[in-house]
């Protein structure tokens, strides 16, 4: 990893030295390595400066960036995700993102509060200068809901509640298998549990939509498409 003196880092980042010092005073940058009176920075500092520039271009304020930075640095790292979720990555595909890419996924919704909620749920973790989302499917669904106009805070709260029900359904299936089959059958029969949940959820949505149609018909209104 390359190291930079203050002037070299500022030049590489395309900012004045006084701006670099201002960012350091605002604690937007991690402290440099000291060697006597010389401050040495590295590629992580350069990546952070580029992230700050990208977030500023997207309309974030320095105060907001400082809060986001603090939330990232206080978040769980990738090594702790397995312990947090209890299952590691499972079958989900993790996604690596820069902070600015995450901001693009959820434009205007990446706040310290939402970030803290995502970290607490285990949806996000940090890995050096990158952010890791635990699931490509969850990331795509969450961002699609936000684009439709659902607040990210509401999406995250719903995700928390869905997880409680999902844990309960997983426990029911595990009890069924353990009561009638050997313990080692659970991993092998896991796809059956997924099929049951998907089928039941589909039928539940059908019943919900049918109920809404019937209610609208009874009241003389036609549901909008």
Going from the first residue of the chain to its last (225 residues), give the mean pLDDT of each consecutive group of 10, the final group possibly shorter.
91 93 89 91 88 82 81 63 49 82 85 84 78 88 94 93 90 89 82 88 90 67 53
pLDDT score for 84? 45
**What Cα–Cα distance (Å) separates residue 131 from each residue in 43, 87, 98, 127, 140?**
16, 19, 6, 6, 15
CA end-to-end distance (rounded Å), the chain: 56
**CB 181: neighbour CB atoms within 10 A?**
12
The pLDDT of residue 87:
44
Distance in angstroms (rounded) separating the CA atoms of residues 6 and 132: 30
Q: Please give the pLDDT value at position 32.
A: 92
Q: How far apart are CA 73 and CA 128, in angstroms?
A: 9
Q: Which of 114, 134, 133 is nearest to 68 (CA)?
A: 114
pLDDT of 54 reads 80
Kindly report the pTM of this predicted structure.
0.69
Predicted pLDDT of residue 4: 93
Interhelix angle 112-121/62-73, rounded to 10 degrees, is 10
């Amino acid at each position: 990893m390359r190291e930079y003196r203050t002037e070299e880092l500022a030049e590489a980042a395309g900012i004045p030295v006084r701006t670099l010092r201002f960012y350091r005073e605002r604690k937007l940058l991690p402290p440099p390595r000291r060697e006597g009176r010389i401050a040495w920075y590295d590629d992580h500092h350069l990546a952070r400066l580029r992230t700050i520039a990208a977030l500023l271009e997207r309309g974030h304020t320095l105060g907001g960036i400082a809060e986001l930075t603090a939330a990232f640095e206080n978040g769980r790292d990738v090594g702790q995700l397995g312990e947090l979720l209890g299952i590691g990555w499972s079958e989900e595909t993790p996604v690596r993102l820069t902070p600015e890419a995450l901001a693009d996924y959820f434009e205007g919704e990446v706040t310290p509060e939402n970030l803290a909620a995502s970290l607490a749920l285990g949806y996000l973790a940090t890995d050096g200068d990158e952010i890791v989302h635990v699931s490509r499917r969850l990331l795509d669904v969450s961002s699609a809901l936000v684009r439709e106009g659902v607040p990210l805070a509401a999406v995250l709260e719903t995700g928390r509640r869905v997880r409680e029900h999902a844990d309960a359904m997983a426990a029911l299936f595990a009890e069924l298998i353990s009561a009638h089959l050997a313990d080692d059958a659970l991993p092998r029969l896991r796809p059956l549990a997924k099929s049951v949940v998907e089928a039941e959820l589909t039928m539940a949505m059908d019943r919900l939509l049918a109920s809404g149609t019937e209610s609208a018909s009874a009241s003389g209104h036609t549901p909008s498409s």
